[in-house]
Amino acid sequence: MTDKAKTPANEMWGGRFEARPDQILEQINASIDYDRRLATQDITASQEHARMLAAQGIISEADSAAICEGLGRVLAEIEAGEFEFSRALEDIHMNVEARLKALIGEPAGRLHTARSRNDQVATDFKLWVRARIDGDIDALSALIAALLGQAEAGADLVMPGFTHLQTAQPVTFGHHMMAYVEMFGRDRSRLVDARARMNESPLGAAALAGTSFPIDRHRTAQALGFDRPAANSLDAVSDRDFALEYLSAASICAAHLSRLAEEMVIWSSAQFQFIRLSDQWTTGSSIMPQKRNPDAAELVRAKVGRIMGALIGLMTVMKGLPLAYSKDMQEDKERVFDGADALGLSLAAMTGMVRDMRPVPDALRAAAGAAFSTATDLADWLVRRLDMPFRDAHHVTGSLVKLAETSGVDLDGLSLQQMQTVEPRITEEVFAVLGVDNSVASRVSYGGTAPDQVRAQIARWREQENA
């Protein structure tokens, strides 16, 4: 026999195997390098499983107590950094169980009664994702609070609104901030929905078919904070929708973070100077001493690639798998861990930057009135005062813009006589709508940029957040 054949097999696999796996198989098969992050969830679920087994008379109360106490010791070792993880034991489940056996002996072997690693990992992973969702919901609430603070302070502060990144119409800084409040509010609601949908316990589904032991799945589900046990054992161990839905919601949120980050990069540039970020959220250059780089915003903008990549990667893993469990599904955790880490860091960074940024009123006001931003107000005035069809008013206004552009002035720089060469019925009253303050004040429709409307939306959100 070869030396490898003489080496004992992984005893957790039972008597079917005599030899250890090839070194390459061991390397590709092991997940302990990353799934050790499930240690707390694995031990918590195992303790509740042991308590349920005793309550159902499947194992003795003494064995259950020994298992729960031993698992507590294992967790303490892990948290203290004293636990020795073994690749030969493949994953967190076998590492914990092997250490439990070393600590308490024979009772450890009863823990896996009426359970498989298939339902065990699905339970652990759900618990981990659920906890991250809770953390992300809290982080989004903090970001929304920061944006509400900026919106309140800037409710009257005029700035240019853009379409195609070209000056379109004046808006207020507060209105712009509230747009992101709405976006991140939807992100939070998606996570809340995903959490509710995923909150079913796989524990007790065993390998795929359930178990012949008289277990109480409702008890373990309740003890672990689930709403109910999953209703189909095949689906319970096969399901990774919860991970996909989390990454999907995270990807949309990351896209929103990236859009805000992009605006921060543009706004803080020398060409715009709409906002300032402090030294806490910018970096310098190794060669150009004048530089203040918005690196945090740029990195948040980049994180969306990691998060969306995690979603696409896991979708690709899951797309062709037959029921029930396949080892391919081991590839789920690294992607979710990486995506979750990137999202959590991005949310924290963006919240810090939003709290830190300071708008520059003079620059915002100057830009708000430039590039004929009140042209639509002029067209609206022609409709209201002269009873002109909007398409005709649009044409007249376009001619006036061309005249102003040729004359090298903004619309309010044209004389009344110049305007009347295009439309004789225009009166002096038109100049009242050409100022940016009048423009934003006139946008009184629900959800508009008028300061009173912005304040009403802020009040609605504050009431909602404090409910």
Residue-wise pLDDT for 394-410, tens only, equals 999 999 999 999 999 98
Q: Model's pTM, two decimal places? A: 0.90
Task: Establish whether 112 is a catalytic residue.
Answer: no
Mean of pLDDT values over 322-350: 95
List C-alpha distances in Å: 448 to 170, 442, 445. 11, 9, 5
CA atoms of 277 and 358, how far apart (whole Å): 7
DSSP states along 205-260: -TTTT--SS---HHHHHHHTT-SEE-S-HHHHHH--HHHHHHHHHHHHHHHHHHHH
List C-alpha distances in Å: 39 to 12, 131, 201, 371. 18, 13, 18, 59
Amino acid at the residue 268:
S
pLDDT at 240 over 60: yes
pLDDT at 17 over 70: no
Mean of pLDDT values over 150-165: 96
Share the mean pLDDT of the chain: 92
Nearest residue to 54 via CA among 100, 114, 94: 114
What tens digit of pLDDT does each residue of 350-401 get?
A: 999 999 999 999 999 999 988 788 888 899 999 999 999 999 999 999 999 9
pLDDT at 21 over 70: no
pLDDT grade for 284, boundaries at 50, 70 and 90: confident
CA atoms of 38 and 337, how far apart (whole Å): 10
pLDDT grade for 432, boundaries at 50, 70 and 90: confident
pLDDT at 83 over 60: yes
pLDDT at 1 over 50: no
Task: Establish whether 285 is a catalytic residue.
Answer: yes
Long-range contacts, stretch 188-195, CB < 8 angstroms, 24+ apart: 188/137, 188/140, 188/141, 188/144, 190/249, 190/252, 190/253, 191/133, 191/136, 191/137, 191/140, 191/246, 191/249, 191/253, 192/137, 194/133, 194/242, 194/245, 194/246, 194/249, 195/130, 195/133, 195/134, 195/137
Spatial contact of 95 and 86, defined as CB atoms under 8 Å apart = yes
Spatial contact of 377 and 434, defined as CB atoms under 8 Å apart = yes
CA atoms of 182 and 197, how far apart (whole Å): 23
Considering 60, 189, 269, 285, which one is annotated as catalytic? 285
What tens digit of pLDDT does each residue of 87-122 get?
A: 889 899 999 999 999 999 999 999 999 999 999 999
What tens digit of pLDDT does each residue of 285-314 get?
A: 778 877 788 899 999 999 999 999 999 999
What tens digit of pLDDT does each residue of 173-219 get?
A: 999 999 999 999 999 999 999 999 999 999 999 999 999 999 999 99
CA atoms of 334 and 325, how far apart (whole Å): 17
> What pLDDT does residue 382 have?
93
